[in-house]
Chains A and B, each alone.
Chain A
Amino acid sequence: MSTTEPAIALSGLRKTFGAVEAVAGIDLEIADGEFFSMLGPSGSGKTTVLRMIAGFELPTAGTVWLSGRDVTRQAPYERDVNTVFQDYALFPHLSVLENVEYGLKVRKVARRERRARAEAALESVRLPGFGGRKPSAMSGGQRQRVALARALVNRPRVLLLDEPLGALDLKLREQMQVELKQIQRDVGITFVFVTHDQDEALTMSDRVAVFDSGRIAQVGTPEEVYEHPATPFVAGFVGTSNLLRGDAARQLIGREGTFSVRPEKIELTEGAGNGTVAEVIYAGPVTRFVVDLDAGARMVVVEQNRRTGKSTLSQMRGKRVQLTWQDEHVIEIGVNHAS
């Protein structure tokens, strides 16, 4: 890490709601200009951490630093961060342009500059000429972009995004993923992106933090997190885990420990073998086979549907198959090979 202050630093961050410990001690540094994702199931504490960075929640314990400044006790309006909300939270009584201008108006930016910057922001999210509309007259994807423009126009040091793509349909989601990444590269500010969608986190981020019950289970590049999960939870949440432990590990790997092989790394051949096909799921470009190994583990195998006319797919159920994989694709969980 370089000598400059991290954009965000969290230390010993905890938050309890009554008897529930939502965030159970988080230490984290996010570098300037990084696209950082917080990935985890609902209730894992990722949104609460985001809300503490924004200032909507006061931590029960711990400290939040923004660019080296302790902001733990500061109000949201005193922090140099802006948020894109899950429900967008656009002001219904204001036009799109007035929505985007809001932050500048509050900070008393002169009218002409305000207008120019708001229009430029709308252009950067590819909504030029939409300023006069009311948010209610726009589609979900358009509102999402207005929310983005409304946050970006203030040129914050950090942009926080709380599951911003959650309400969009799949096609639009994929399109917005690419656009968000592009916008982040253009403006060059730190993005902190909360999501429960592993694909989203893996495709967009420079680094990912995987949240598990109020703690960070692992922080790393998407590749590190996917190829070398630190815990069984990470292996299971990011991709399909295919865990081998106990007897199955001894028989198939030949060692004690917990191991995982990703579904796309496994070769499946018909004939007398080491397992039985329990389920076949056709999914367009790929087919998923669920195989019960004789050694006592259930594995998922993903195969590209390159061989069309393998008309007997459904007849595969119950067939004996041989699963093989290369040693280098066996992940020993809890051992980080990368660093």
Chain B
Amino acid sequence: MSFLHRHPRLRLAALLSAPMLWLVVAYLGALAVLLVSAFWAVNGFTGEVVREFTLQNFRTIVTEEVYRNVTLRSLGVAVAVTVICVLLALPMAFYMAKVASPRARGWLVIAILTPLWASYLVKAYAWRVLLANDGPLDSLIGTPGYGLVAVVIVLSYLWLPYMILPIYAGLERLPDSMLEASADLGARAGRTFRGVVLPILVPSIFAGSIFTFSLSLGDYITVQIVGGKTQLIGNLVYANVGAANNLPFAAAIACIPVLIMVIYLTAVRRSGALEEL
């Protein structure tokens, strides 16, 4: 024990080697393989992967309109889901953190966490039933039917807890005296929300948006279940891995959401929101 105590660098190495190994091999390794194979091709006759450098995959993605459309559609879905989640999560998290009694707060946290334990597939299929023509929703207020709108609705439902929890945590950290100080200085509720609560919550909202945005951007199962004929980036990847048996092209398509996320995270970082986390 005392040996490690006298050699702090060794201690650090012992502590971090396992997680570093995991990070480098499993995580970054997989990404590297993805990136490398995106520059390979497939032999049209044999269907075998040709391990030679080519830009053909990316050329196809950039030049053919269908890929640009799918990318924009996926981006739109991810933005819409994120915005809807923010709008729903703000009042819910505020009620939980600042209005509800401590007892009710505990139950509300449970109520928000439990759906995360239920199978994704079950929840998606439950929505398929809900959204069906002549389904429960249809007889009540009407259904948009299977399609892009249904995808946005179901994804918003699925990822909402990931937005509520960071905002709730952010509000918990916000002392009540801050809200009182704002009221004391003459601000009404709306002004306090815009001038104090929202700016302080920006890091929390960004944290939540990273979940909702990236999870929506990569989803293909919900799209298959309630999306009708809608195709998003994930579906293209899936189709190229399976039916088309073109792993290199699937890898190239998969680079699109990775690139989008890198751009998004860089923008968030630039805004300084992460520094106040």
Contact = CB atoms under 8 A, between A and B. Distances in A.
A92 B186 contact: no
B180 A85 contact: yes
Interface string A125-163: 000000000000000000000000011001000000000
Given A102-B195, A106-B191, A89 B181 contact: yes
Contacts of B129: none
Interface of A: 54-56, 75-77, 81-83, 85-87, 89-93, 102-103, 106-107, 150-151, 154
B200 A93 contact: yes
Contact of B183 (A75, A86, A92, A150): A75
Contact of B182 (A81, A93, A102, A154): A102
Interface string B175-187: 1011011111111
26 contacts: A55-B184, A56-B180, A56-B184, A75-B183, A75-B188, A76-B180, A77-B184, A77-B186, A81-B184, A83-B181, A85-B180, A87-B177, A89-B177, A90-B181, A91-B178, A91-B200, A92-B200, A93-B199, A93-B202, A102-B185, A106-B185, A106-B187, A106-B191, A107-B186, A151-B185, A154-B185
Nearest to B187: A106
Contacts of A107: 186
B108 to A, nearest CB: 21
A76 B276 contact: no
Which residue among B182, B184, B196, B200 has the maximum number of chain A CB atoms within 10 Å of its CB? B184
A85 B181 CA distance: 8
A77 B188 contact: yes
Interface in B11-52: none
Given A56-B184, A106-B187, 19 more contacts: A56-B183, A76-B184, A77-B183, A77-B186, A81-B184, A82-B184, A83-B180, A87-B175, A89-B175, A91-B181, A91-B196, A92-B200, A93-B202, A103-B185, A103-B186, A106-B185, A106-B191, A107-B186, A154-B186
Contacts of B177: 85-87, 89
By Cβ-Cβ distance, the 6 closest A-B pairs, closest first, are: A103-B185, A89-B177, A89-B181, A76-B183, A106-B186, A93-B199
Contacts of B195: 102, 106
A337 to B, nearest CB: 41
Interface in B169-209: 175, 177-178, 180-188, 191, 195-196, 199-200, 202
A90 B175 CA distance: 10
Contacts of A93: 199-200, 202, 276
A93 B195 CA distance: 10
Contacts of A54: 180, 184
A54 B276 CA distance: 31
A75 B188 CA distance: 9
Given A91-B196, A93-B276, A102-B195, A77 B181 contact: no
Contacts of B188: 75, 77
A150 B185 contact: yes
Contacts of B196: 91
Identify which of B181, B182, B191, B195 gathers the most chain A CB atoms within 10 Å of its CB: B181
A87 B202 CA distance: 22
A192 B196 CA distance: 26
Contacts of A90: 181
Contacts of A55: 183-184
Contacts of B187: 77, 102, 106
Nearest to A147: B181
Contacts of B186: 77, 103, 106-107, 154
Nearest to A101: B185
A160 to B, nearest CB: 9
Contacts of A91: 178, 181-182, 196, 200
A252 to B, nearest CB: 50
A43 B196 CA distance: 30
B197 to A, nearest CB: 10
Contacts of A86: 177
A214 B184 CA distance: 24
A170 to B, nearest CB: 24
Contacts of A151: 184-185
A77 B181 CA distance: 10
B66 to A, nearest CB: 44
Contacts of A89: 175, 177-178, 180-181
A161 B180 CA distance: 14
Contacts of B178: 89, 91
